[in-house]
């Protein structure tokens, strides 16, 4: 493929990812991805089948500026990793934000959100303004969480792309303010040995156009990769693939619409253990040369996990 603006000739296997939970300076990480689900209880059970240890349900709220809060219309269940996490959002009320939730969910059941972490969201918002990328002002959000020492609050500031700017889904950049409340040690151990979120996989109609937008949004460039291009961040990345490339990569997944967030890669400590857990959970899975693919249970929507012990084992990074 040709190399438009936003693509470099750098090998997608280098440099090594930063091994830290939160970014510093100008770093940007793939922080988390989110499924939009209809039933939080069913999603939690599906996670357990796949070998994840889900957190309890949490209801998300906005501070009201008067010492109280008001609901934003969604709640979540998460699976927290030593590096990053995965989220499962469900609707709790009708609000302006959940109108977007309904619109995205109407396209297909599954993954609709990608969030990137930065150290200073206000600085990133100023950078977006200089490039003319359509983003909303940062908003401050919080959710109540239980901890072993008592109730805590998870707080973060989020900058979202304007509606229509990112047809792939709800694409956002955030700054975490309460690392210890979010990544509690008791939720970091999983039967499938998951320890980190690596890459997100998105099928698009025009790879060059998509990576151009994401390069402007994240401030990072992409490198050619098998089946498309890989946008590398300081930790993690995004594979943009054509419909045909994704069908070859994930023949078990039917792609009915584009763009389509098709799955993501999770690093595990033991691939053999992850395979055993998938078998015991009656997941649809298959082995790769140095990894495995497992289709999401129906409660989590369409798509698949890639489980590997190291990022270079992923088909698009090898």
* Angle formed at CA 116 by CA 114 and CA 122, multiple of 5 degrees: 130
For residue 62, what pLDDT is reported?
Answer: 64
CA distance 236 to 248: 22
Measure the CA–CA gap between 98 and 113, rounded to whole angstroms.
13
How far apart, in whole angstroms, are the C-alpha atoms of residue 234 and residue 255?
30
CATH of domain 29-187: 3.10.180.10
Q: How far apart are CA 266 and CA 227, in angstroms?
A: 20
CB-based contacts of 299, cutoff 8 Å, min separation 6: 37, 38, 39, 42, 43, 45, 46
**Spatial separation of the C-alpha atoms in residues 115 and 134, rounded to whole Å:** 16
Which pTM was predicted? 0.90
What is the separation, in whole angstroms, between the first and last Cα of the chain? 18
Q: Where are the domains of the chain?
A: 29-187, 194-313
Instruction: Supply the CATH classification number for the domain 194-313.
Output: 3.10.180.10
pLDDT at 143: 74
Per-residue pLDDT tens digits for 91-113 = 888 887 788 888 999 999 999 99
Same fold, 29-187 and 194-313: yes
* Residue found under tokens 């401030």: 219
Q: Sorting pLDDT into bands at 50, 70 and 90, what band is 214? A: very high
Q: How confident is the model at residue 5 (pLDDT cuts 50, 70, 90)?
A: very low
Q: Is 90:38 a contact under the CB 8 Å cutoff?
A: yes
């Amino acid at each position: 493929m040709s190399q438009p603006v936003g693509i470099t000739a750098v090998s997608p296997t280098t440099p090594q990812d930063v091994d830290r939970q939160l970014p510093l300076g100008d770093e940007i990480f793939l922080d988390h991805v989110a499924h939009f689900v209809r039933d939080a209880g069913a999603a939690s059970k599906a996670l357990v089948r796949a070998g994840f240890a889900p957190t309890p349900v949490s209801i998300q709220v906005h501070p009201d500026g008067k010492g109280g809060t008001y609901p934003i219309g969604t709640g979540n269940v998460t699976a927290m990793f030593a590096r990053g996490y995965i989220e499962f959002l469900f609707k709790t009320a009708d609000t302006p934000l959940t109108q977007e939730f309904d619109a995205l969910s109407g396209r297909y059941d599954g993954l609709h959100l990608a969030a990137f972490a930065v150290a200073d969201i206000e600085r990133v918002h100023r950078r977006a303004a200089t490039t003319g990328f359509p983003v909303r002002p940062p908003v401050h959000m919080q959710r109540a969480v239980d901890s072993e020492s008592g109730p805590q609050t998870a707080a973060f500031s989020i900058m979202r792309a304007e509606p229509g700017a990112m047809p792939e889904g709800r694409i956002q950049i955030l700054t975490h303010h309460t690392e210890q409340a979010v990544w509690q040690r008791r939720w970091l151990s999983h039967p499938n040995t998951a320890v980190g979120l690596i890459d997100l996989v998105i099928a698009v109609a025009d790879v060059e156009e998509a990576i151009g937008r994401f390069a402007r949004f994240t401030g990072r460039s992409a490198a050619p990769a098998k089946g498309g291009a890989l946008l590398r961040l300081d930790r993690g990345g995004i594979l943009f693939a054509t419909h045909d490339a994704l069908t070859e990569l994930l023949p078990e997944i039917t792609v009915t619409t584009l763009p389509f967030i098709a799955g993501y890669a999770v690093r595990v400590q033991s691939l053999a253990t992850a395979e055993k857990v998938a078998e015991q959970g009656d997941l649809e899975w298959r082995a790769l040369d140095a990894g495995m693919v497992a289709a999401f249970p129906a409660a989590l929507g369409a798509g698949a996990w890639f489980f590997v012990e190291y990022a270079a084992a992923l088909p698009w990074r090898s």
